[in-house]
């Protein structure tokens, strides 16, 4: 069992310039599964993920892991909607988090080669990261996030700008990581993707958590009117 969980969110609120972006949120997440965060544009999905990960400052409330904050941070990774590439090769991007963790460079290179192969980038180890296509960059970002074997991986709409083939490849990587023990918490605007990946769903609207339910229950019989309208494709405000 991961020492990170349960994650307990108690009245957590994020504000910017006096405006509430998220909250107050009350939530408990267990150690297993894939949580999919959905909601209309502007619902607060990105701020919500950043709040859980600890990179958005709380105005009120708390986000508490089962271990101390330093250990909790070391056991997490985050993949952004637009992948952040270091001005290094594919290999350089992959070994960076391992070297930060104190792994000898030669050993880090071995792990990086395996990680690249896992996502289909083994022929591109010497290629500068900024020369990669959008799908290749996202695969590199995923490989870099997973190379430290995090207990939980947060993802902010990682497939939003990808075509169908690249999306399928990313989903395969994510399902493999989840099967290997990495907890996933991911936002998406793609309801097909949400149905394919989710074990549970969080529905956000105007920064509030309107609904939290197992995926099968949510998609078959959501309990709130806004969630039903959203799944029907209606405009929800």
Residue 130 lies in a domain: no
Within a domain: residue 65?
A: yes
pLDDT at 115: 95
CATH of the domain at 74: 3.40.50.300
Question: Does the structure show a pLDDT above 90 at 209?
Answer: yes
Q: Where are the alpha helices (DSSP H) in the chain?
A: 45-53, 69-74, 90-100, 105-118, 134-146, 164-179, 191-197, 215-220, 225-231
Q: How many domains does the chain have?
A: 1
Tens digits of residue pLDDT in 146-161: 999 999 999 999 998 8
Q: Distance of alpha carbon 50 from its chain centroid, rounded?
A: 9
59 domain-assigned: yes
What pTM, to 2 d.p., does this model score? Answer: 0.94
Query: Rg for the chain (alpha carbons), in Å?
Result: 18
Query: What pLDDT digit, counting tens, does each position of 15-52 carry?
Result: 999 899 999 999 999 999 999 999 999 999 999 999 99
- Give the position of tokens 């349960």: 6
Q: What is the DSSP letter of 108?
A: H
pLDDT (tens digit per residue) in 161-203: 888 888 999 999 999 999 999 999 999 999 999 999 999 999 9
Residue 63 phi, psi dihedral angles, 5° rounding: -125, 110
Instruction: Note whether residue 49 is domain-resident.
Output: yes
Residue 132 lies in a domain: no
Distance CA 206, CA 23 (A): 9
**106 within domain boundaries:** no
Beta-sheet pairing, 200-205 with 152-156: unpaired
CA of residue 82 relative to chain centroid, distance: 12
Whole domain around residue 13: which residue ranges? Answer: 7-85+155-231
Q: Is the distance from CB of 218 to CB of 194 less than 8 angstroms?
A: no
What value, to the nearest 5°, has the Cα angle with vertex 82 and ends 141 and 91? 25
pLDDT digits (tens, 9 = 90+) for 68-120: 989 999 999 999 988 889 999 999 999 999 998 899 999 999 999 999 999 99
Q: What's the confidence (pLDDT) of residue 1?
A: 56
Q: Is residue 114 part of a domain?
A: no
Distance, first Cα to last Cα, the chain? 39
Report the pLDDT value the prediction gives residue 89, as an integer from 0 to 100: 96
Q: How many residues does the chain have?
A: 237
Does residue 208 fall inside a structural domain?
Answer: yes
């Amino acid at each position: 069992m991961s020492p990170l969980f349960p994650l307990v969110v108690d009245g957590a609120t994020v504000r910017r310039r006096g405006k509430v972006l998220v909250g107050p949120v009350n939530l408990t997440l267990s150690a297993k599964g894939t949580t999919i965060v959905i909601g209309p544009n502007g619902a607060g999905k990105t701020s919500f993920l950043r709040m859980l990960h600890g990179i958005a400052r709380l105005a009120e409330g708390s986000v508490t892991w089962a271990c101390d904050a330093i250990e909790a941070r070391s056991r997490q990774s985050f993949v952004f909607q637009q992948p952040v590439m270091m001005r290094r090769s594919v290999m350089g991007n992959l070994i960076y988090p391992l070297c930060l963790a104190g792994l000898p460079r030669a050993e880090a290179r071995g792990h990086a080669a395996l990680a690249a192969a896992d996502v289909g980038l083994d022929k591109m180890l010497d290629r500068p990261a900024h020369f990669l296509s959008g799908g290749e960059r996202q695969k590199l970002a995923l490989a870099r996030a997973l190379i430290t074997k995090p207990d939980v991986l947060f993802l902010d709409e990682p497939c939003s700008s990808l075509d169908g083939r690249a999306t399928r490849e990313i989903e395969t990587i994510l399902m493999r990581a989840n099967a290997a023990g990495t907890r996933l918490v991911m936002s998406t605007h793609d309801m097909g993707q949400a149905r394919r990946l989710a074990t549970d769903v969080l529905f956000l609207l105007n920064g509030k958590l309107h609904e939290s339910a197992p995926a099968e229950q949510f998609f078959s019989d959501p309990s709130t009117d806004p969630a039903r309208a959203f799944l029907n494709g209606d405009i929800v405000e």
